[in-house]
Amino acid sequence: MLHSRISVAEILGKAFQFYGDKFHILFFPFLLVSLINSVLWKFALDLIPQFKVQLGFTENFLVQFINYLAFVIPILAVFGVISWLIDVFPAGLIVKYSSDIFEGRPSNLAVSFRVVIFKIFPLLSASFITGLLVILGLILLVIPGIIMAVVFSLTIQVIIIEGAGVFESLRRSRELAAKGWWQVFSVLAYTFFLTVIAGVIGEMLCSLLITTEIYFKLIITSIIMSIAKPLQPVALTYLYYSLSAGRKLPEIRKPYPQAVTVPPRMRWEAREPIVFHPKFCYKCGQRLPSDAIYCPRCGVRVRT
């Protein structure tokens, strides 16, 4: 199949290039959310009592350890789901912003912000289901959690780009992931690995600053990790287009190329409308001819 020819290295390479060009825009939404998450996890850690390690492995020690895990794991699971939901907003913002650029539409964070707010209910609902399944899978046997993360990894892309509902986005994400399961897993693993490395660098930086205050350590680590986090939604958006269209990755197009060659005064005097030529169908991802008004695959109107 055509989508199998697109390597993970190509997807990640284009994602790195795009993120490098738009770093000043994509970094700050995750930075703000990471600071909120640091306060959230500080509250969670305050709820968890310190476990006193006893010398020797006795039956009493085993019972205490099991009771401690029974108390701690639900707290971590609840705050993990909440943190997952908080990350949905900047991820949706980046997906909308990057998809507009990939398809040649005019893009800015204000427009992306309004779209994400409009679709916040399906985004939060689908992400809650996904986060709950992933965290429960990780707690139980680890492998089911990884499978759930791969299967539903493109849910945000489907909701933002296709406008699908909650359960339709979950089903569509599962279909797309089935086309390139190994690609999705590799992108998730690579971006997760980069985030972990960023967290380790944050811990090392805290050690160099000789700070023992847990709150400041969480803030510094969150800031460093927020540098790596935007790469995942960008890479998954590239992967979404490659799997949905089954063709090569979309090129980054400058919106409204006529504005570069035609002075604004001349365009206004001639009353020439600015014509938008989409490269991909916003609903099914099909590559479109330059003169297409309707998508040849799903029939939706793509140009007015």
Question: Using 50, 70 and 90 to split pLDDT, how confident is the model at 77?
Answer: confident
55 φ, ψ (degrees, to nearest 5):
-75, 135
Length of the chain counted residue by residue: 304
pLDDT in tens, 112-126: 888 889 998 999 999
Q: What is the pLDDT of residue 285?
A: 67
Which one has a higher pLDDT value, 304 or 218? 218
DSSP 8-state code for residue 161: I
pTM attached to this predicted model:
0.73
pLDDT at residue 257 greater than cutoff 80: no
pLDDT at residue 153 greater than cutoff 90: yes
Listed by start position, the domains of the chain span: 2-49+61-252, 256-304
pLDDT at residue 213 greater than cutoff 80: no
**For the CA atoms of 96, 27, 186, 221, what is the dihedral angle to 10 degrees?**
-140
| Highest mean pLDDT (candidates 3-17, 107-121, 171-185, 204-218) | 171-185
Question: Using 50, 70 and 90 to split pLDDT, how confident is the model at 269?
Answer: very low
Average pLDDT over residues 132-137: 86
* CB environment 174-201: b (16+ within 10 A), e (fewer): eebbeebeebbbbbbebbeebbeebeeb
Average pLDDT over residues 40-60: 73
Considering only CA atoms, which of 110, 119, 91, 50 is closest in space to residue 226?
91
Tokens in use for 37?
A: 């998450």
